[in-house]
């Protein structure tokens, strides 16, 4: 583990918000354990192990029913730890893989059988070396045949350049963490409006209203992030997902409490109808249909 790496919270609070039966934590990871599933030699950080048993314990403790496990950059394109977690969870988890262009059709099919339903394209420079867009497009065309979608991770200043690429992808797209807006700029800032307009123009683009712990300037309980998430939930109620982001890699300012993160949900999805769409209907349609 990196010397400045903050391990996940050892005892999150019990949420005050009662998570509805059947809810999905649609963005979380498993890390290692490194002695079974070594980290990638090309990784940009070395995390604290966060094995599948801990993830499933947290799922039950918070009151969630299912997980979408996203392959994180520290495991590179070796999806073994994530796929192993999917196989253990059975129908209670689905996966998002990271693949290199030389992945074989047999490997893709095996991942599909284990519950993988998407690939992630990561554009965040501190996390990965850049992949040419043509390479991503080749992967997109192959996974589209399996009915998979694409999860994209980028930061707000990169969106303008990415728009033509995103609009040419042949699948449903899910944008991680609301496109990482600068929350000090406000929801009316042109950068966030550009993101909203992208979703207005393209009804195949979804987003995760996740990661207030990374976007906040004010700190917990992340009130400065709420208006961004609420705006997206109320404008695109059928195209939003929510996730804890456990075990919260690369946090520098504080260790997020997953119970507190769960307590944010009724503030961003203010009716039971919006909560059901965000936590159950939308992820079930995208990952379990």
Ramachandran region of residue 80, left (φ > 0), alpha (ψ -120 to 50) or beta? alpha
- How many residues sit close enough to ligand 0GY to count as binding (CB under 6 A)? 12
Contact call for residue 137 and ligand 0GY (CB under 6 A): no
CB 95 within 8 A of CB 69: yes
Q: How far is the CB of 62 from ligand 0GY (least distance, A)?
A: 17
49 counts as catalytic? no
Contact call for residue 28 and ligand 0GY (CB under 6 A): no
Residue given tokens 């963005």 in the structure block: 27
Contact call for residue 213 and ligand 0GY (CB under 6 A): no
Number of Cβ within a 10 Å radius of residue 53: 12
Helices (H), 48-119: 52-62, 80-89, 105-114
Contact call for residue 72 and ligand 0GY (CB under 6 A): yes
Burial of 105 (0-12, 13-18, 19+ CB in 10 A): exposed
39 versus 148: smaller Cβ distance to ligand 0GY: 39
Beta-carbon contacts of residue 6 (< 8 Å; ≥ 6 apart): 248, 251, 252, 254, 255
CB 145 within 8 A of CB 170: no
Catalytic residue among 25, 49, 176, 245: 245
Binding residue for ligand 0GY, selected from 9, 25, 68, 73, defined by CB under 6 A: 73
69 versus 278: smaller Cβ distance to ligand 0GY: 69
Binding residue for ligand 0GY, selected from 69, 74, 199, 286, defined by CB under 6 A: 74
Footprint of ligand 0GY (CB under 6 A): 29, 72-74, 122, 127, 153, 176, 214, 245, 249-250
Residues that are catalytic:
245
């Amino acid at each position: 583990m990196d010397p400045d790496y903050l391990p996940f919270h050892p005892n999150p609070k019990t949420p005050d918000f009662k998570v509805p039966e059947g809810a999905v934590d649609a963005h979380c990871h498993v890390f290692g354990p490194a002695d079974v599933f070594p980290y990638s030699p090309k990784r940009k950080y070395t995390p604290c192990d966060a094995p599948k048993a801990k993830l499933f314990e947290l799922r039950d403790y918070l009151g969630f029913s299912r997980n979408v496990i996203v392959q994180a950059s520290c495991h590179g394109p070796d999806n073994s730890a994530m796929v192993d977690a999917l196989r253990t969870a059975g129908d209670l988890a689905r996966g998002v893989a990271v693949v290199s262009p030389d992945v074989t059709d047999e490997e893709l099919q095996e991942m599909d059988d284990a519950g993988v339903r998407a690939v992630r394209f990561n554009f965040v420079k501190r996390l990965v070396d850049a992949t040419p867009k043509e390479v991503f497009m080749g992967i997109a065309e192959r996974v589209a045949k399996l009915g998979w979608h694409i999860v994209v991770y980028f930061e707000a200043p990169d969106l303008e350049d990415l728009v033509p690429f995103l609009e040419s992808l042949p699948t449903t797209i899910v944008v991680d963490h609301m496109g990482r807006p600068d929350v000090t700029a406000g929801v009316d800032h042109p950068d966030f409006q550009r993101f909203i307009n992208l979703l207005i123009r393209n009804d195949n683009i979804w987003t995760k209203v996740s990661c207030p712990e990374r976007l906040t300037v004010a700190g917990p309980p992340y009130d400065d992030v709420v208006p961004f998430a609420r705006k997206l939930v109320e404008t695109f109620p059928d195209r939003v997902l929510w996730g804890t982001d456990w075990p919260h890699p690369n946090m520098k300012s504080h260790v997020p409490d997953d119970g507190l993160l769960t307590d944010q949900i009724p503030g961003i999805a203010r009716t039971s109808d919006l909560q059901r769409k965000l936590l159950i209907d939308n992820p079930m349609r995208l990952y379990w249909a």
